Every structure is written in C-alpha cells, then in structure tokens.
Amino acid sequence: MDATQNTSTETRKAAPAGDRSMRPVIEHALTVYFDGNAELAGELIDRLLAEDQNR
C-alpha cells in the first residue's frame, strides 16, 4: 500500500455543521439498524424533530 492509499493516518477536517445536514447520515444509520426499514427511520426522526420544536 502506498502513501496515497493510507487513509487511516490521514486527518480529515469536517465541514461546519451549518453547511450540511446530518439527517441523511442519521436516517441511513437508523435504516440499517432497523433492518432496512427507511419509513420507520424517517418517522422516528420526524417525531424527534417535532418534539424538539414543541419545547
């Protein structure tokens, strides 16, 4: 493996959270967790966001 392929030691800089949405990442993780049920993952996220807005 040459130096260009060694990503384990590279430092990656994350973009500021305001510049991107975390929803797709969380929705994908929940979809995998719930055995491919994307509808359930989306519903859970929507409920959490609604709960936060009602506070």
Q: What is the per-residue pLDDT for 54?
A: 87
pLDDT of residue 46: 95
The pLDDT assigned to 21 comes to: 87
Residue 54 CA to its chain's centroid (Å) = 23
pLDDT digits (tens, 9 = 90+) for 1-55: 555 555 555 677 766 666 678 999 999 999 999 999 999 999 999 999 999 888 8
Q: What is the pLDDT of residues 43-55, one digit of tens each?
A: 999 999 999 888 8
Task: Provide the pLDDT for residue 40.
Answer: 97
